[in-house]
Structure 1
Amino acid sequence: MTTSYLPPVPPSDPGPGAPVRLTARRPADLLAAVPFLLGFHPEESLVALLLQAGRVLLTARYDLGDHAEAGVADLVEQHAPSGVVLVAYCADAVRGRAALQEEVDRLDRSALDAGVELVDVLLVDGRRWWSLACTSGCCPSEGSPYEPGEHPLSAEAVWAGLVARPDRAAVVATVAGPAEEDWPDLRRRVRRIAAGLDRRTRTDRQDALGRAVVAALPRLDAADGARAAGPGDDACLELALLVRDTLVRDVACALVTREDARRHLALWQEVLARTPPELAAAPLCLVGVSAWAGGNGTLLNACCERLGELDPTYPMGRLLTDVSRRALPPAWWDALADGLRRDLGLQG
């Protein structure tokens, strides 16, 4: 399952890292927004959008064959939205309709009885889309053209710095780390840098981590183009070595706020892109925390999958996997981060 949350409404004078608000008034608008809510263009998927007060609270995606086992109804019960939109993306329109009907029947037996409105049921075959909830005859029987890339809302989202990758595999690739042929050189650098760091006390290393993060953030833009402005190889490897110690890593976690999550995400993605696999667990967790705090459930899920491959016993990886599985909203990070800051003496 993939889950993502819409960021809060931005202030009247948003800064460069402020959340983005997209307005969808018609089904075609919503279909153009879905790839940006998920972070990629879905295929062979069932997508559920949970609405609250006219806003998207949560976007969940299932592989089309897995949705029955996972169940949208469980998410509806957990988050108590006011409405739900279901979208099936399936090249086989007959199969897509069947999947939608199965989920509608399941919702009819539970969530809809509790007053949750089924706002729309949409089918996309890659070329055209249909609203299966339309009973007024306004929707053409042959469907409407599906061209999300041509929709004005897509241009608005791209202009605001949002990204919709071609597919989920492209998202997973962003947390894969450096190419294998780069590992020998990176490991040589690691040995040299580690020799100096190991002579420092933990307090010195915590202070060094905090200073490095605070210094790096102003140079990082919220968009994908941040990489050119980020730290170099040695600086990234030093950060990866510093966060090996969980009490140093926790300082980096405590610095993440929901308001600045995208810049923290850009930083730790830079670090991860230069980190050989034996050091990747802690930077992966920091990417995951920043993704969660920023509402990017797709990227959080990708981090959890790679953490499971690298070290399934890594405690923070298991915590993030539980966050992902339970689809906990970013607001939960506020309480966790406050407690972490108190424990580390970073408040006051």
Structure 2
Amino acid sequence: MPRARETPSLTVRTPEDLLALAPVVLGFTPTDSLVLLTFGPGSFHARADLPARGDPQGVDDLVTMLLDPVRHHGVSRAAVLLFTSDATLARSVAGALGRGLSRARVDVLDSLRAHQGWWWPARGRRPGVPEWGVPYDAAAHPFAAQAVVDGRVTLPSREALVDTLKPVAAAVDEVGALASVAAAAAAAREPAWASAERRWAVALVRDHVRDRTVPEPAALARLVVGLGSFAVRDAVWATTPPAQAAEAARDAADLWTEVVRRCPRRWRAPAAALLAYAAWNSGNGALAWCAIDVADEADPTHTLTGLVAHLLTAAIRPGSFDPAEALSASVPDALGEDPRGASAG
């Protein structure tokens, strides 16, 4: 369940407004999805894949997953959007979620089903809405135009978002060859290696975030190998720009996107986990989930990936978690030496 990008200040009055808002806050046009938009204090937005028709357990699991953060954050108003051609499935999911939201004392502003530029009420009939639906054009809506003005890119699908993390084959090969050499050298590291490497890695990442550039292949190879150390990874993680510094936070996510695209699979999990955190921190929950998928494919046991997944699932607001503070509180030596020489998990 991705937390959406930071919500722009837009006024919603009509079903068309709600349907146009969804791709703006998600960063892509959803299909075969449930989108929950919430409003007021504690608000968040979420997208989830729809369960199969005739899967009551899948529906119950989906409702539970959404209601947990709704209750935790004290949400008072919400809108339910089902992007699907299956009216029966939409009616089932909307009914179950609507009942859950009602029990949680959430005012459901609207419940809609949409498919290929037409919308219908998700449940029942509505005066003035014909059986064949009402046409709408999210791409031509003023919200879409405002997103362009704000520099917010809206992709045509989640698959298009996934494609933004596709490896750059030539770069992966070059970095991989250099990383193998760097890894061999690191295997004979001295006790002071982690301390020196973390300072170098932190300076490298800070400089490239500031300059909006990507490290050259040799430096990138050294970086991704170094991230296999808890000490190096956590030192770099702790210097992620705070969410309140919105532009720098987005720049950090952009840097890690490019690092992941150039990173060989062997060293990809820590870089992808750092991308997941940077994406969540910048308000781009959809990209964060894509990065988690990449990290899980490389190493499903990576602990930082699990932490970011928790932040997303619980709809924790960016800016409310400080990795440096968390590391110093829970692991006093997390930013110091790595005496075990272990790989970051």
- CA shift digits 1:261-318 (9 cap, x unpaired): 2111111111111110001011011001111212222222222222222212222233
Q: 1:216 to 1:22 in 2, by over 3 A?
A: farther
Q: Deviation of residue 194 (structure 1)?
A: 4.7
Contact 1:177 1:277 (C-alpha < 8 Å) held by counterparts: no
Specify the SS of the correspondent of 1:329: coil
| Structure 2, unaligned runs of 5 or more | 53-57, 336-345
RMSD across aligned positions (CA): 3.0
- Is 1:202 the counterpart of 2:194? The answer is yes
Partner Cα distance (1:21, 1:64) in 2:
32
Instruction: Point out where structure 1 has 5 or more consecutive residues left out of the alignment.
Output: 9-19, 221-228
Tell me which residue corresponds to 1:149.
Answer: 139
The Cα of 1:158 is off from its aligned counterpart by 2.3
Query: Which secondary structure does the structure 2 equivalent of 1:308 belong to?
Result: helix
Q: Which amino acid aligns with 1:232?
A: E
- Letter of the 1:215 counterpart: D
Q: 1:79 aligns with which of 73, 76, 88?
A: 73
Per the TM alignment, residue 101 of structure 1 is displaced from its structure 2 partner at its CA by 3.0
2:228, 2:270 within 8 Å by CA — same for their partners in 1? yes
Q: Note if contact 2:59-2:96 (Cα within 8 Å) is conserved in structure 1.
A: no
Residues 5 and 285 of structure 2 are in contact (CA less than 8 Å); yes or no, is this contact kept in structure 1?
no
> Aligned letter for 1:78?
H
Measure the CA separation in 2 of the matches of 1:320 and 1:303. 10
> Do residues 239 (structure 1) and 231 (structure 2) align?
no
Deviation at 1:89, TM superposition (A): 1.0
Query: In 2, are the aligned partners of 1:84 and 1:119 still within 8 Å (CA)?
Result: yes
Q: Which residue of 1 aligns with 2:343?
A: none
Shift of 1:333: 2.1
Aligned to 2:340: none
CA distance in 2, matches of 1:132, 1:107: 11
Distance 1:3 1:183 in 2: 28
How do 1:7-46 and structure 2 match up within 5 A? Answer: 7=6, 20-46=8-34
Amino acid aligned to 1:174: T
| Aligned partner of residue 333 in structure 1, secondary structure | coil
**Alignment partner of 1:129 is 2:119:** yes
Q: Which residue of 1 aligns with 2:44?
A: 57
**Aligned counterpart in structure 2 of residue 190 of structure 1, from 151, 161, 179:** 179
Match of 1:302 among 276, 290, 307: 290
TM-score by length of 1: 0.80
**What's the secondary structure of 1:286's corresponding residue?**
helix
Give the corresponding residue for 1:285. Answer: 273
User: Does 2:61 correspond to 1:69?
Assistant: yes
**1 CA distance for matches of 2:176 and 2:60?**
45
What residue number does 2:103 align with? 113
Question: Post-superposition shift, 1:249?
Answer: 0.7
Give runs of aligned pairs for residues 82-97 of structure 1, distance below 5 A: 82-90=76-84, 92=85, 95-96=86-87
Which string of whole-angstrom CA distances, capped at 9 and with x for unpartnered residues, describes residues 65-111 of structure 1? 35443214344333331111111112x3xx23x33432343245443
Range with greater deviation from structure 2 (274-283 or 231-240): 231-240
The one-letter amino acid paired with 2:47 is A
- Relative to structure 2, which stretch is displaced further, 232-241 or 277-286? 232-241
- Look up the match of 1:11: none
1:64, distance to aligned residue in structure 2 (A): 4.7
C-alpha displacement of 1:323: 3.5
Residues 5 and 329 in structure 1, CA contact (< 8 A), matched pair in contact too? no
- Could you state the TM-score of these two structures normalised by the residue count of structure 2? 0.80
Query: 1:3, 1:48 → 2: CA distance?
Result: 10
Q: 1:105 to 1:128 in 2, by over 3 A?
A: closer
- 1:161 is aligned, of 139, 151, 157, to 151
Identify which of 300, 305, 311 aligns with 1:312: 300
Correspondence for 2:205: 213
Identity %: 26
Name the SS for the 1:280 alignment partner: helix
- What letter is aligned with 1:339? A
1:144-164 deviation digits (Å, cap 9, x = unpaired): 322111112112112322222
User: What secondary structure is seen at the aligned counterpart in 2 of 1:43?
Assistant: coil
Note the C-alpha offset of 1:332.
4.2
C-alpha contact 1:285 1:303 (8 A) present in aligned 2? yes
Work out whether 1:340 is the aligned partner of 2:340: no
How far did 1:210 drift?
A: 1.6
Q: Structure 1 residues 80, 56: CA separation in 2 closer, same or farther (over 3 Å shift)?
A: closer
Alpha-carbon distance, 1:46 to partner: 1.6
Quote the Cα distance in structure 2 between the aligned partners of 1:337 and 1:201.
Answer: 21
Secondary structure of 2:258's aligned partner:
helix
Q: More displaced, 291-300 or 192-201?
A: 192-201
Distance in structure 1 (CA, Å) of the matches to 2:5 and 2:75: 14
Matched positions, count: 319
